[in-house]
Structure 1
């Protein structure tokens, strides 16, 4: 996947005072901004820029790229800056960069509003300390990293052979869930000027989560690429842990009658269910709002703490003498084999593992499926936890972190 550099700003801060000394860069029209001596964009996406206004000495160099998509550029006090920057005192040289606490970008309408599938331009940044020598040409190559992460999902090979209770019979579709609707432009800094990783559980980020900011009925399911913001909460809960809401079709291998007896077994070659005597059967239809669905049932505890591992071709609740405790359990229909799963993104290199770090690619593959998930979308979103291990999707997750060598910005100072 190729990404473009459409605009960038380079800020040079005096490492001793922390104050801004100069700013220069390129706007989205390819025009130089600030004291630029030369500006040479290359066909491979890199840009070579030089300035003669930099002072010698130790510098904190901050680069922000591809951020004009969040708003137009404006000018304050002779210093050009995008309007969305929330720390104008820093970029105007009034206060040191070490006072920068939480420069964030709010995402109106959710991540997908600004980053559709396979977006060619995403926000990037870089922070490094450099020492500029006097009376010589200082040549630096700056590598940028994405401020958001990428998620993709697919089915692994031989999925059906690894599923003892049933299997996903078609490619699932998914959307990102519990995505923070703000992200940091840069890592946080403490009063001592040390750069630290963002932590979204801090008080200034309480309430920044919603159940599914990118998920609503008007948006179609997608099976390509999603983007999520960085999410490094200290204590994870389902409400603030980024994951995927997956819609799939789960077909049970064995179904039982309303008494939990007389099983039917699925035969893949004939695409039919057969009883123990070899008779072919089809699932009953249940009419809802004038529509017909193929339906099977499952028992769920009314407190949503667990669900049964068995599935039924008759509604157990319709039996005159149900074999289960109706005070504790209820039968729930699965229509058209459809069900929903919630998969928390995990990165074993992070603490906690459910942290989402910027510039990651969560390449998710479903390798086995031991049971149907939730019968409704709302159940998958709102339930405090997955009801039982047999409704989990066991997944293997690999990460691919792409570097930015093809989008480096060589800087001559």
Structure 2
């Protein structure tokens, strides 16, 4: 571990390069309208401030105060869960930016409610708002484990690591009751199938018994996503995710149990959380993390408006600075979806973040060991159980 002097020096160095070399023009950054904002009492414990209809809807509605006090009668946004029986559960992708080609999402929507979540626009495809609906109107797939076992048994299936937690969090609060993730892990464990998990929840500790058993066969690894160590900012930005110290505790629990654990700093938000990059890496290393990665803030489609609205409400004095830096790394736009750049951005400021990450991980000896998950021992499920070879 670095000495206190070394730590202070690294943080001082970080603050010294926090001034951008290039900034986007401020004059063309629009401030979101607050006319569609939902009252704070109705959205208590939520990050989004609006619930604008999805872009595919023919009609949209907007709540307006007519002066008669009717808004007081509107209900608060409580979590509603619908069950849907999945026909398929393994999602494939061919993205050159991703290290995996298949993933599982046992839930749609995410009660963690992270304001910056790039998965928010997916709710528009099912006729719901990427705003408050994404946080409060959730879908669970109770037959996920059953469908998974069926898909693993298909002729010609070739095992490769399945990523879970890449879209919505598998350990969000409703997992406590449904336990779909535990059922999925039991299937993967039974057939020696590798899995890589990303989560912002300390609930992952519940499954340490399965994960440690799988890790002994090189079948599992887990990354805890930590955006900030500031509990007040975390509560505002990620209202129902585990507190930062709980996520660090989960890293230690997993590491102590022999499960390869890492930290994912996702997203790095310029002028808001980027100054914490070294601090997060240091804290994660102290709690047993072996690896680290980061992703720059992404604002696709409706996420841009939702994030800007949140900034105006929660950090109004930093709004133009944050958005200016974002645009300086996204070719003058809120978001650039080009392969190879959407995760890291481009330009001098993006390069500085990447360089700081590289220097810090080297100093902390993170990413020195690579745990390549094994697919060699996979056993395909058979109807009625595993069929043994005759000879």
Q: TM-score, normalised by structure 1?
A: 0.21
Structure with the largest fraction of strand: 1
Structure with the largest fraction of helix: 2
| Larger Rg belongs to | 1
Q: TM-score, normalised by structure 2?
A: 0.22
